């Protein structure tokens, strides 16, 4: 296979997630007051702007640099995989996970206090669950898509090809 035959389809959803994530973060930072609840669906779903120095559920607030490095590695792996994956499930998983990691990495690099220590903008609050953003949701959905692919789709295809008894 030559370089000209390679179509990195996963870069499309990856780029789309980054754009949607950064646009929504810009909109909420420009239009919402921090730590103020803006009901969307009663008390079930609301917009609630916070700056998160940690990871999911605000854990690891002292490990921002570690999260930044992990996100860099995840983005690099997803970009490499974008040139290799062909199955639409794998394309979706790589695009969602890579886009989410890249979206939050941009915050870690460019938002205050900056330089791999930046705080991620979170703003979606559902019930008493954690506050998250588009990038976080994309990562979670991407992992779910990958699990369905790895545990259901790929084994079914292998059986159809006669590779597994």
Catalytic machinery residues: 122, 136
CA–CA distance, 105 with 25 (Å, rounded to integer): 13
Those residues whose C-beta lies under 8 Å from the C-beta of residue 125, and which sit 6 or more positions away, are 37, 45, 46, 47, 48, 131
The DSSP annotation for 76-98 comes to HHHHHHHTT--SHHHHHHHHHHH
Instruction: Count helices and strands (H / E) in the chain.
Output: 5, 4
CA-to-CA distance for 63 and 87, rounded, in angstroms?
A: 35
Question: How far is it, in rounded angstroms, from Cα 75 to Cα 107?
Answer: 14
CA-angle at 50, arms to 68 and 46, nearest 5°: 125
């Amino acid at each position: 296979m030559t370089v000209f035959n390679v179509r990195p389809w996963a870069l499309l959803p990856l780029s789309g997630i980054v754009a949607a994530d950064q646009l929504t973060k810009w909109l909420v930072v420009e239009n919402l007051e921090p730590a103020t609840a803006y009901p969307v669906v009663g008390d079930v779903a609301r917009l609630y702007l916070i700056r998160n120095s940690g990871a999911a559920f605000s854990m690891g607030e002292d490990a921002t640099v570690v999260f930044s490095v992990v996100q860099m590695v995840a983005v690099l792996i997803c970009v490499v995989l974008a040139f290799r994956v062909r199955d639409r499930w794998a394309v979706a998983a790589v695009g969602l996970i890579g886009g989410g990691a890249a979206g939050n990495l941009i915050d870690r690099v460019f938002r205050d206090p900056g330089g791999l220590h930046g705080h991620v903008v979170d703003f979606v609050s559902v019930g008493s669950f954690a506050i998250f953003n588009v990038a976080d949701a994309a990562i979670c959905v991407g992992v779910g898509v990958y699990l369905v692919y790895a545990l259901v789709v790929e084994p079914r295809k292998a059986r159809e090809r006669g590779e597994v008894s």
